[in-house]
């Protein structure tokens, strides 16, 4: 049957590549994946999946870093103009662009979940003729949105896996649950679906990424360590403007509040229990050279190898920001803009996946270990599954990249697509066998 799956995945190769290129061309950034999600929902439904979408799978309160209502509306119009099915778009309104497909196998058994992310990056895609998406005419038509992280591939893989598993329904003992998540960039989207409970009944959860630390076709990494828990914060300071020459004492200086916050944030004490991170990535303040600045915003993130260490960083950061505002007698509003939990792959599940991969015979190198060292909000789903007694693993599937992730010249070797389809399908079959 395993050889069979490699063949099935191969048969879907062209379709999968076509889908990936279509998603690439119509790249949609976080919370605006109206067209992508509508296509996902429609396809899953057509394959016989029970489809949940919008408010059914996304908790509005838990959404982070959502564009304004006007911006969302604009994207709804854009998506409709780009052919999105109005029925599904309607369900997704308000940026609730998550979709879940459920397929019950012929026999009872555990539930396996596979999670895919759908959003593009805020980036201007390369326009030179050497960039393959340009040459082959699938470069993004949505200016400022670009799939520079491979989520277009992830979504296409997900739909092909859906098709393979639907064709094997009679042989499955248990349930397949495919989670298509918005807004992974900025780690903003998973929490809203996790909080909604979509992963709570999953016994085995798989997440995956193409590329990254596996840089060649045929590489596979299952023993992933070093997921960094993270919190993304914006702090908006509001002071009082004054003429810097005529009445400096009348001002309340938001710029200096932000500057002293930035400096002291970076001075948060290191944590003895494991790596932590802090970064104030942006600071914008002031309106004119001769005005005491009344406005400032900083955009920062904290990280930690465990959720506890990240919480330490985040709680220190919050106190420091507030004190910086007090120091300059300005107001501050702190907003949580994103986040991811820490996580650990379950070793017993990892070993099963590795055995499946070996059987497939398409992976030349299964890496003995792999340090992630970054953040992925798939961890929110993993945490929920593990809290409920399930097992979770996150995989990296190799492919050559034209440029690094998030680079405006990013592209990948699409040969990874059928390989990923085969592996995930095979893993599901393995886990849902009696």
Site residues for a second copy per CB under 8 A? 186, 228, 230, 232, 243-251, 253, 255-256, 258-260, 262-264, 266-267, 269-273, 275-293, 296, 299-301, 303, 312, 319-320, 322-324, 326-327, 329, 337, 373-375
Given the complex with a second copy, which of 69 and 263 has the nearer CB atom? 263
Given the complex with a second copy, which of 80 and 283 has the nearer CB atom? 283
> Where are any strands of DSSP class E within 341-433?
365-367, 370-374, 391-397
Identify whether the C-beta of residue 348 lies closer than 8 Å to the C-beta of residue 357.
Answer: no
β-bridge partners, 237:
296, 332
The token pair at 315 is 């709680």
- Nearest approach, Cβ of 406 to a second copy (angstroms)? 9
- Nearest approach, Cβ of 396 to a second copy (angstroms)? 15
Given the complex with a second copy, which of 179 and 343 has the nearer CB atom? 343
Question: What is d(CA 26, CA 228) in angstroms, rounded to the nearest whole number?
Answer: 31
- Nearest approach, Cβ of 316 to a second copy (angstroms)? 8
- Nearest approach, Cβ of 287 to a second copy (angstroms)? 7
Question: What is d(CA 163, CA 145) in angstroms, rounded to the nearest whole number?
Answer: 28
β-bridge partners, 204:
112, 391
Given the complex with a second copy, which of 170 and 249 has the nearer CB atom? 249
Given the complex with a second copy, which of 229 and 385 has the nearer CB atom? 229
> Where are any strands of DSSP class E within 211-294?
219-221, 224-227, 229-238, 242-243, 276-285, 291-292
- Nearest approach, Cβ of 327 to a second copy (angstroms)? 4
- Nearest approach, Cβ of 251 to a second copy (angstroms)? 6
Given the complex with a second copy, which of 45 and 240 has the nearer CB atom? 240
Identify whether the C-beta of residue 103 lies closer than 8 Å to the C-beta of residue 176.
Answer: yes
CA 1 distance to own-chain centroid = 32
Given the complex with a second copy, which of 21 and 253 has the nearer CB atom? 253
Question: What is d(CA 35, CA 88) in angstroms, rounded to the nearest whole number?
Answer: 9
Q: Return the DSSP state at 295.
A: E
- Nearest approach, Cβ of 126 to a second copy (angstroms)? 17
Q: Would you say the C-alpha torsion 144, 132, 395, 429 has a positive or negative sign?
A: positive
- Nearest approach, Cβ of 116 to a second copy (angstroms)? 22
Given the complex with a second copy, which of 110 and 226 has the nearer CB atom? 226
- Coil, helix or strand at residue 428: helix
Residue 136, exposed/middle/buried by CB under 10 A (0-12, 13-18, 19+)?
exposed
Q: How many CB atoms lie within 10 A of CB 217?
A: 18
Given the complex with a second copy, which of 288 and 368 has the nearer CB atom? 288
User: Measuring CA to CA, which residue among 126, 183, 155 is closest to residue 21?
Assistant: 155
Given the complex with a second copy, which of 136 and 326 has the nearer CB atom? 326
- Nearest approach, Cβ of 273 to a second copy (angstroms)? 8
Identify whether the C-beta of residue 63 lies closer than 8 Å to the C-beta of residue 31.
Answer: yes
- Nearest approach, Cβ of 367 to a second copy (angstroms)? 17
Residue 90, exposed/middle/buried by CB under 10 A (0-12, 13-18, 19+)?
middle
The token pair at 271 is 């944590």
Q: Residues in the chain, how many?
A: 434
């Amino acid at each position: 049957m395993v050889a069979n799956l490699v063949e099935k995945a191969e048969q879907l190769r062209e379709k999968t590549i076509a889908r990936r290129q279509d998603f690439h061309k119509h790249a949609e950034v976080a919370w605006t994946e109206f067209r992508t999600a509508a296509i996902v929902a429609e396809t899953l439904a057509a394959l016989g999946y029970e489809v949940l979408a919008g408010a059914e799978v996304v908790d509005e309160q838990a959404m982070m870093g959502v564009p304004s209502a006007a911006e969302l509306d604009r994207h709804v119009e854009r998506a409709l103009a780009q052919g999105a099915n109005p029925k599904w778009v309607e369900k997704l309104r308000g940026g609730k662009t998550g979709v879940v497909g459920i397929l019950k196998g012929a026999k009872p058994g555990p539930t396996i979940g596979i999670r895919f992310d759908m959003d593009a990056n805020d980036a201007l895609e390369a326009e030179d003729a050497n960039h393959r998406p340009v040459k082959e005419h699938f470069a993004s038509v949505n200016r400022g949105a670009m799939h520079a992280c491979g989520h277009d591939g992830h979504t296409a893989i997900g739909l092909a896996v859906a098709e393979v598993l639907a064709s094997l329904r009679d042989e499955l003992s248990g349930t397949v649950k495919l989670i298509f998540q918005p807004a992974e960039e900025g780690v903003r989207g998973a929490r809203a679906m996790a909080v909604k409970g979509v992963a709570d009944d999953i016994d085995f959860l798989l997440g995956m990424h193409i590329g990254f630390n596996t840089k060649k076709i045929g590489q596979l990494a299952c023993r992933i360590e070093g997921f960094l828990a993270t919190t993304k914060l914006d702090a908006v300071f509001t002071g009082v403007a004054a003429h810097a020459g005529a009445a400096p004492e009348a001002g309340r200086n938001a710029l200096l509040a932000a500057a002293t916050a930035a400096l002291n944030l970076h001075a948060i004490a290191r944590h003895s229990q494991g790596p932590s991170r802090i970064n104030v990535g942006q600071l914008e303040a002031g309106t004119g050279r001769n005005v005491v600045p009344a406005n400032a915003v900083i955009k920062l993130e904290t990280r930690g190898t465990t959720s506890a260490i990240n919480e330490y960083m985040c709680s220190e950061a919050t106190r420091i920001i507030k004190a910086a505002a007090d120091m300059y007698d300005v107001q501050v509003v702190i907003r949580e803009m994103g986040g991811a939990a820490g996580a650990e792959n379950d070793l017993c599940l990892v070993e099963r996946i590795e055995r499946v991969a070996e059987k497939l015979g398409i992976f030349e190198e299964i890496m003995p270990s792999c340090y992630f060292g970054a953040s992925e909000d798939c961890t929110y789903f993993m945490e929920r599954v593990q809290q409920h007694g399930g097992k979770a693993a996150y995989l990296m599937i190799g492919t050559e990249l034209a440029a690094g992730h998030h680079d405006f010249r990013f592209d990948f070797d699409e040969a990874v697509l059928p390989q990923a389809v085969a592996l995930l399908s095979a893993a599901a079959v393995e886990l849902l066998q009696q």
